[in-house]
Amino acid sequence: MLKDKVAIITGASRGIGRAIALKFASEGCNIAFTDLVEDENMNSLVTEITALGLKAKGYASNAADFEQTQKTVEQIVADFGHIDVLVNNAGITKDTLLMRMTEQQWDAVIAVNLKSVFNFTKAVQTTMLKQRSGSIINMSSVVGVSGNAGQANYSASKAGIIGFTKSVAKELGSRGIRSNAIAPGFIITEMTGQLSEEVRNEWNKMIPLRRGGTPEDVANACLFLASDLSSYVSGQVLHVCGGLNT
Ligand code: NAI
């Protein structure tokens, strides 16, 4: 479904981003991905994808940094030639009640989760405009739609992503560029692994499908939005949450 395409995925050394990279690669896509540092996770993902006969490269790059992002995308274009799909996946949490939330906790989450989406979308824009095609997929969250106590910074960043996604869809649609968001619910990764057993059980009770999602569940939705199966879908938020947000 993505044969000979090139995708950039941010924060893909582990978790949901890694599952997206592997899913896209299984459909013939060449993968340029970023994460904060070059480590064993980054190198093993490159090895796994290149073993499929595809091109893959990991770039150590802080998605919250505007200049670094420009340079990284320039390097990716030089290495891969074109960019068909951008998945803005990198994200962090710094959860606490508003009463205790520091300015640093607010700024860090907004910078990594929201500013990064601006940084990468702006950096790929020229290439996608020249191609007159591209699919941009932004990782929001159900809490960006519904809010969540203890996550004012995170929810605000994820709600901001939705506004950005819709604006880009309207601005770049006439040039063949699509922009959509995914709103995952409770997905089992290291990010949610930090939560206690009790909190995780409480989540499961609230989910109509009675289980947490897997990174692959999210990757499958990404594949739909990346591929031509969704060629008439833009400006939308696709919830992947087991029915939690309905
Ligand atoms: P994770 O913590 O397992 O992986 C996130 C990856 O992003 C890590 O490899 C990390 O090093 C990287 N990263 C962090 N800051 C970065 C930066 N400044 N620049 C580049 N890379 C950076 O998280 P997970 O669960 O895989 O989450 C992926 C995305 O999905 C995030 O945007 C998250 O907010 C979103 N999401 C996750 C949900 C879940 O339940 N796990 C639910 C809803 C949304």
Q: What is the CATH number of the domain that holds 126?
A: 3.40.50.720
The answer to whether 141 and 95 have CB atoms below 8 angstroms apart is no
- Give the end-to-end CA distance of the chain in Å, rounded to a whole number: 29
Distance 125 CA to ligand 1 centre (A): 23
- From residue 25, alpha-carbon distances to 75, 137, 167, 209 in Å are 20, 16, 29, 28
Q: Would you say residue 245 lies in a domain?
A: no
Using the mean position of ligand 1's atoms as its centre, give its distance from the Cα of residue 24 in Å.
Answer: 18
Is 59 a residue of the active site? no
Ligand 1 atom with minimal separation from the 218 CA: 30
* Residue 176 falls in which region: left (phi positive, over 0), alpha (psi -120 to 50) or beta: left
Ligand 1 proximity of 190 Cβ (cutoff 6 Å): yes
Q: Which residue's CA is the nearest one to ligand 1's atom 8? A: 11
Residue 217 CB neighbours (<10 A): 20
Q: What is the rounded distance in angstroms from the CA atom of residue 127 to the CA atom of residue 77?
A: 8
**Is there a domain that residue 50 lies in?**
yes
Considering the domain boundaries, does residue 244 fall inside one?
A: no
C-alpha to C-alpha distance for 219 and 224, rounded to whole angstroms:
9
Q: What is the pLDDT of residue 19?
A: 98
Atom number of ligand 1 nearest to Cα 18: 26
Ligand 1 near 212 CB (within 6 A): no
Q: How many domains, the chain?
A: 1
User: 35 alpha carbon to ligand 1 midpoint, in Å?
Assistant: 10
Give the pLDDT score at 195: 85
Please name the residue whose Cα sits nearest to atom 38 of ligand 1. Answer: 187
Residues of the chain with pLDDT under 70: none
CB 87 less than 6 A from any atom of ligand 1: no
Task: Report if residue 68 sits inside a domain.
Answer: yes
Distance of CA 215 to the CA centre of its chain: 11
CB of 101 within 6 A of ligand 1: the answer is: no
pLDDT at 192: 86
Print the domain residue range for 166.
6-236
The answer to whether the CB of 91 is under 6 A from ligand 1 is: yes
In the prediction, which pLDDT does 98 show? 98
Dihedral angle sign, alpha carbons of residues 73, 23, 222, 173: positive
From the number of C-beta atoms within 10 Å of its C-beta (0-12, 13-18, 19+), residue 12 rates as: buried
In the prediction, which pLDDT does 204 show?
92
Give domain status of residue 70, yes or no: yes
Q: Measured between alpha carbons, how far is 31 from 76 in angstroms, rounded to an integer?
A: 10
Let me know if residue 242 belongs to a domain: no
pTM: 0.98
Tell me 231's DSSP state: T
84 in a structural domain: yes
